[in-house]
A = this chain, B = another copy of it.
Amino acid sequence: MFTIKESTTKTVDVGGTPFTYREAGTAEGVPLVLLHHVTAMLDDWDPAVVDGLAAERRLILVNLRGVGGSGGTTPDSFEAMADDAVAFLKALGLGPVDLLGYSLGGIVAQVIAQEHPALVRRIILAATTPAGAPGPAATGAVLQAAIQKATSEGKHPKHYLFFEQSATGQAAADAFLARLDERTQDRDTPVSNETIGAQLTALTTWEKDTSPTGLASVEQPVLVVNGDNDTMWPTSGTIQLAQLLPNAKLAIYPDSGHGGIFQYHELFVQQALAFLRD
């Protein structure tokens, strides 16, 4: 096994566009593909979560089209993002795979599971929400408010977006952000405003979507996880997601928000590995 900190950033050609990715973990077994959140690139994955999972799995972290060091222009629909993710998997000759989709990445994973079921073995959906549930359309406004607050208070926006405002929550935020800074070399490129704009358009469409019932066709086992007080996309959506999926397990962590899997990284890693191992 090698850790994510030691992993160099690689590039694969996906239909003429270079997609960047990193690998960690064991060399064998069904790969676990990590799909990132809105505004995120490879450096935004918590090393505690990645290395915890890498103890047992082969991990692949990818920047979708137009994200971080990947080329091309980020599309403004989840169907297109899912097609890009599938094209990336095919370019690497992978499949079937396990998916871990966090937030926006969890929506991409939901679409992949519905459109390309043969490619997917098991799915972990963290801090995400089904089509039609409230939250995603307000993401732009919530990001803006967090950035303003962060600037005026000398903090990182994720202090507000991912964690509770309690002492415990803010200590977890500090620890999480320190872990993100552990990697000092071969850092990824921040996403552009154009990319964020396309992602926000896709999110607005997702909230207006009135057909979450496609989830009933997802036969794969799914582990659905979130904090109990997600202020970005309400935890009620996470719970609805678990109820819409025919074969879902649910884990909810108290005293935590959108970043619950980072705050409780040891517990999440333990539950995720047990779920993937079954």
Contacts and interface: CB of A to CB of B under 8 A. Distances in A.
Interface string A254-278: 1100000000000100010011000
Contact of A252 (B236, B243, B252): B252
A228 interface: yes
B251 A253 contact: yes
Interface string A203-223: 000000000000000000001
- Give the number of times this chain occurs in the complex, counting copies: 2
A130 to B, nearest CB: 15
A242 B271 CA distance: 23
A235 interface: yes
Interface of A: 223, 228-229, 235-236, 239, 242-243, 249-255, 267, 271, 274-275
Closest 5 pairs between A and B when the two form their complex, measured CB to CB: A252-B252, A228-B250, A249-B254, A251-B254, A250-B252
B254 A235 contact: no
Nearest to A227: B250
A250 B251 CA distance: 10
B249 A251 contact: no
11 contacts: A223-B254, A228-B249, A235-B250, A236-B243, A249-B255, A250-B252, A250-B254, A251-B252, A254-B271, A255-B275, A267-B267
